[in-house]
Structure 1
Amino acid sequence: MQEEASYICDACGEEIVIPVDLTAGTEQEYVEDCPVCCHPNVIHLQVEPDGDVRIWAAGE
Structure 2
Amino acid sequence: MHEHFFQCPHCRETISMLIDVSQPDQNYIEDCEICCNPLQIIVVINGGKIENFTVNNIEQYFFK
Please confirm whether the aligned pair reaches a TM-score higher than 0.5, indicating the same fold. Answer: yes
Secondary structure class of the residue paired with 1:35: coil
Counterpart in 1 of 2:16? 17
Task: Indicate the structure whose relative CO is greater, using CA pairs within 8 Å and at least 6 residues apart.
Answer: 1
Q: Match of 1:52, as an amino acid?
A: K
Q: Which runs of 4+ in 1 moved over 2 A?
A: none
Where structure 2 has 5 or more consecutive residues not aligned to the other structure, the ranges are: 59-64
Identity rate, percent: 28
Q: CA RMSD in A?
A: 1.9
Alignment of 1:1-60 (within 5 A): 3-22=2-21, 25-49=23-47, 51-53=48-50, 54-60=52-58
> 1:39-58, CA deviations, whole angstroms, 9 ceiling, x for partnerless residues?
10001111135x43132210
Q: Match of 2:41, as an amino acid?
A: I
Aligned pair count reads 57
Secondary structure class of the residue paired with 1:37: coil
Is the radius of gyration larger for structure 1 or structure 2?
Answer: 2
